[in-house]
């Protein structure tokens, strides 16, 4: 599922399907900037760097804490073993999801850097081609019924496989250039026994995301009828 190598105080994780000769430089955005390989950046709670290597675009992200704790510790986490790190757990989950054939940003490599009881982490995944988030799309136009059904059936596909997404929101739902739907950002995600309780809770989280984003943007094309269609399509797909 993954390979683990060590270098000084660093653990380097690579997926079994990775074909790159990844080294520690890959986790330094300045390394890619020096090669003029950065093709885009995306701001959020933290910056994601999109870099081109061998005609493919990959994404580098650094792990940052959120909330009040993040204001003090920023990117520092307590180290209690490699397999307990958020980096290892997300990377291992991504490798499992890739093996299941689910539509994700495929894992390439991850790094855990340890300093005593503290660790920091980074993750590299393959970028979704010409990706546009559902949130970005709804700021410019309404989603078609087919697009909403594709979102619903994709989510149901993950849930039927027992995949719990800890931060299911419309910024983490992407369309590629062919209109296929992907889920990204599986930090703190889990594989669980399928259950209506957590599936409904995950769906409710998604609904709150629609409502939150609708209140943020000057234009946002999403109606209660759209939500009803998405929800109905989801439950139908889950039962099939």
Catalytic residues: 167
Tell me which H or E stretch contains 17.
none
Q: What angle do CA 36, 37, 43 make, to 5 degrees?
A: 105
What is the separation of C-alpha 12 from the centre of its chain, rounded to a whole number of angstroms?
Answer: 19
Q: Are 155 and 235 within 8 A, CB to CB?
A: no
Q: Are 180 and 103 within 8 A, CB to CB?
A: yes
Q: Are 32 and 49 within 8 A, CB to CB?
A: yes
Report in angstroms the alpha-carbon separations of 41 from 33, 77, 120, 228: 11, 25, 21, 34
CA distance 202 to 90: 18
CA distance 209 to 135: 9
């Amino acid at each position: 599922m993954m390979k683990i190598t060590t270098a000084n105080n660093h653990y380097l994780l690579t997926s079994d399907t990775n074909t790159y000769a990844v080294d520690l430089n890959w986790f330094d955005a300045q390394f890619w900037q020096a090669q003029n390989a950065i093709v885009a950046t995306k701001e959020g709670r933290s910056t994601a760097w999109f870099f081109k290597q061998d005609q493919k675009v990959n994404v580098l992200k650094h792990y940052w804490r959120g909330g009040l704790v993040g204001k003090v510790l920023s990117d520092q986490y307590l180290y209690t073993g490699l397999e307990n790190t958020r980096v290892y757990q997300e990377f291992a989950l991504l490798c499992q999801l890739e093996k299941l054939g689910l539509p994700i940003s495929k894992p390439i490599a991850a790094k855990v850097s340890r300093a005593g009881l503290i660790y920091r982490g980074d993750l590299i995944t393959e970028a979704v081609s010409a990706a546009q988030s559902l949130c970005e799309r709804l700021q410019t136009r309404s989603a078609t019924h087919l697009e909403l059904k594709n979102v619903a059936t994709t989510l149901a596909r993950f849930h039927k496989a027992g995949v719990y997404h800890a931060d299911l929101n419309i910024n983490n739902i992407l369309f590629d250039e062919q209109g296929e739907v992907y889920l990204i950002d599986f930090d703190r995600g889990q594989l669980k026994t399928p259950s209506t309780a957590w599936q409904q809770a995950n769906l409710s989280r998604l609904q709150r995301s629609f409502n939150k984003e609708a209140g943020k943007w000057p234009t946002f094309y999403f109606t209660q009828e759209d939500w009803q269609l998405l929800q109905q399509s989801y439950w139908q797909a889950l039962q099939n």
